[in-house]
Amino acid sequence: MPVAQAASEFNYPRILDHPWDHSPITVYIDNKSVPPHYSPTYYTQVQKALNYWAEGGNGKLEYTPVFKIVDSEKADIRIRWVEDMQKEQGVPPRVAGNTIPYIVNGRFIRVDITLGVGFFQWGEWIPYSDTAMLAIAKHELGHALGLDHSNDKQDIMYPTNEQINNTNPILSKYGSLLLFAIYAILAIAVFLSVSYILGRVAK
Ligand SMILES: [Zn+2]
């Protein structure tokens, strides 16, 4: 098919092209009333995510945002953390963040971003790594800048929980151990049956 067709297979829709009618966009990051499993390193990840967008982000914005971190809840974008997104925000399992834009006359007047800090799996608390938090913060800030979800899996605006699943070093360690154990059992079983057959043949 023509090149134009291939180029259009991905789309990068926007909620609004120019959501903010002023600059800089003020950002309040609530690192005071934080949940028990909050890590102070998460704050840095949000700063990195802000820099990511200020430096062009995924290239899908029509403008270059300028941010100003302020110590007032009256900020344009308000970011806070909660312990359990499922319980406190009623979102589907494994959703790590939530962004609510308030739109008046075709502009954002305020955006509330809520970020989770981890989740329970088999009764065990799995915290988000800094890498995961950075990806989550970039994604949610993308919404706060007017971007909607993309169908491009390589794009930060793709709705995914991959970054969450990848965050789990403890689980993946157990995962590979389990795989190793299965291979070991298989190898022993093969060895035993081969010796059994060889033993019978010898007799
Ligand atoms: Zn999203």
pTM to 2 decimals?
0.76
167 pLDDT more than 60: no
Nearest to 29 by CA among 38, 21, 20: 38
Q: What is the mean pLDDT of residues 131-160?
A: 94
Task: Name the pLDDT band for 58 (thresholds 50, 70, 90).
Answer: very high
Q: pLDDT tens, 59-113?
A: 999 999 999 999 999 999 999 999 988 777 777 777 889 999 999 999 999 999 9
Distance 83 CA to ligand 1 centre (A): 19
pLDDT of residue 171: 40
9 pLDDT more than 50: yes
Distance 5 CA to ligand 1 centre (A): 26
Distance 203 CA to ligand 1 centre (A): 68
- 41-54 vs 130-144: helix axis angle to the nearest 10? 40
Beta partners for residue 29, in sequence order: 79
Q: Which CATH architecture has domain 3-166?
A: 3-Layer(aba) Sandwich (3.40)
Distance 133 CA to ligand 1 centre (A): 14
